[in-house]
Structure 1
Amino acid sequence: MSVDAVMDTEFPTGYAVFFGIDGKVVMTPQSEERSSTIRSMQIDSLALGRHAKVISDVYLDFPADEHSAPDFAIMREDARRQGKRYSFKDVLLIAEVVSVSSARKDYDDCTAKYGRYGIPVYVVVDPYAAEVVVHSQPTGSGYIAAHRHTYGSGKLPIELADGRTYTLDLDELPRPDADGH
């Protein structure tokens, strides 16, 4: 099934839909942790300015029909949609929030994909491991640098390619309940 065919499909409320590297369409329920984490990242992005181009779960065009709707992205200030979507070339930072079913995709597949397409900063936010991994210096197969930061360790400044700094507050990221839900 192509991305364009799925774009007009109405999926059940509370599910995220993503496309695997092997062409499979995967629906996964969104957790409260995922939702709260994205909201926390959006709140932190307000320091970039009220009208900064920050998107969540919005499709981006990548070459070879490898479209993505990342959990959170910061775009260049001069980014303009081409049709209904932004281009991957306008992205400064992408963050994916790990869920139980998406760990391999977020840690492996997305790291390779976003690096291959030159996304300057890729952030994996993992509520279950209580860590954030910041990837920088993209290459054709991933990233040269990956730095791990633990939840509860203060504010994490992340330099953007346009000279601005996005600061993620690691003290405010939600954690799953003790039973993993």
Structure 2
Amino acid sequence: MTVMAERPTANGTEPHSFEALLGVLDELDVPDGYQAEIIRGNIVVSPWSKGYYLDVMELVCEQLRPHLPEEHRISYGPFLYVFPGVERAYGPDIHVGHRSISRSTSNHLDGEALSFVAELTSPSTRDDDRTDKVEVYGRAGIPVYLLLDMQEEQATVFWTPSAKGYESRCTRPFGEKLPIPEPFDCLLDTEGFGAP
């Protein structure tokens, strides 16, 4: 289930700025088991992932860690990356960036400083992961976006970011190896990514 909060308004007719939405997001009392993001001008609250998603996230991190650019870190967890130019704020399932990204007291991290993101779809977030996030991550210049479609059991890697999203993509069913392009330049083994 996804809950969408209407965009807050100042006088009932005019929307607040993106910064105001971030403030509302910071103050939002999200129920246990849910996370909140800003997608297309709305605060979207969706349930946390299924248990086995943790195994998949750890498998991705373990395989990519030896191929990270110098001074980059790979992690998963509830961190909010903001994209002010397109008024989006996402909490990607897996994220890679230079260690300097986290040297901040803010809980709004710079999305354009990321070098890799991965999203594991759920029924409530699948459409946004496959459309809005492809465009936003590509326009932000993030070199690699990995989309793990947990419902279709297939992995798609996007690269060559552009003003329209990404110009290149490759899809493989779970169980096969997927080439992850520069700056990682490795094969991701998707064996064990499917539901138990």
Q: Structure 1 CA distance, aligned partners of 2:186 and 2:73?
A: 12
CA separation of 1:137 and 1:35: change in aligned 2, threshold 3 A: same
Structure 1 residue 176 corresponds to structure 2 residue 195: yes
Among residues 97, 101, 108, which one is paired with 1:75 in the alignment?
A: 97
**What is the deviation of 1:3?**
2.2
Q: Is the 8 A contact 2:155 2:174 kept in 1?
A: yes
Q: How far apart are the structure 2 equivalents of 1:135 and 1:145?
A: 6
Q: Would you say 1:152 and 2:175 are equivalent positions?
A: yes
Q: Distance in 1 between matches of 2:104 and 2:49?
A: 28
Structure with the larger strand share: 2
Separation of aligned partners in 2, 1:159 and 1:77: 21
Please, which moves more after superposition, 72-81 or 111-120? 72-81
Per mean C-alpha deviation after superposition, the further-off stretch among 10-19 and 135-144 is 10-19
Q: 1:96 to 1:4 in 2, by over 3 A?
A: same
Q: Secondary structure at the match of 1:24?
A: strand
Residues 39 and 89 in structure 2, CA contact (< 8 A), matched pair in contact too:
no
Give yes or no for the alignment of 1:105 onto 2:128: yes
CA contact (8 A) 2:37 2:89 kept: no
Q: How far did residue 134 of structure 1 move?
A: 0.7
Aligned match of 1:129 in 152, 158, 163? Answer: 152
Q: Structure 1 residues 13, 123: CA separation in 2 closer, same or farther (over 3 Å shift)?
A: same
How many residues are paired up?
A: 172
Offset of residue 12 of structure 1: 2.9
Which residue is 2:37 aligned to? Answer: 18
| Aligned-pair identity (%) | 20
Listed as ranges, the gaps of 5+ residues in structure 1 are none
Per-residue CA deviations over 1:99-143 (Å, capped at 9, x if unaligned) read 111111010111111112111111110122111111111111211
The 2-side partners of 1:106 and 1:26 are apart by: 14
The residue that corresponds to 2:5 in the other structure is none
TM-score, normalisation: structure 2: 0.75
Change (3 A) 1:20 1:89: closer
Shift of 1:82: 4.1
Aligned partner of 1:42 in structure 2 is 61
Rounded to whole Å, the distance in 1 between the matches of 2:99 and 2:182 is 12
SS of 1:114's equivalent? helix
For normalisation by structure 1, the TM-score amounts to 0.80
Matched with 1:58 is 79
Alpha-carbon shift at residue 170 of structure 1 (Å): 0.8
Q: Secondary structure at the match of 2:188?
A: strand
CA contact under 8 A between 1:92 and 1:160: conserved in structure 2? Answer: no
SS in 1 for 2:24: helix
Distance in 1 (CA, whole Å) between partners of 2:83 and 2:41 is 16
What 5-or-longer segments of structure 2 have no aligned partner? 1-7, 9-20
* 1:152/1:172 contact within 8 Å kept: yes
**Residue in structure 1 matched with residue 12 of structure 2 by the alignment:** none
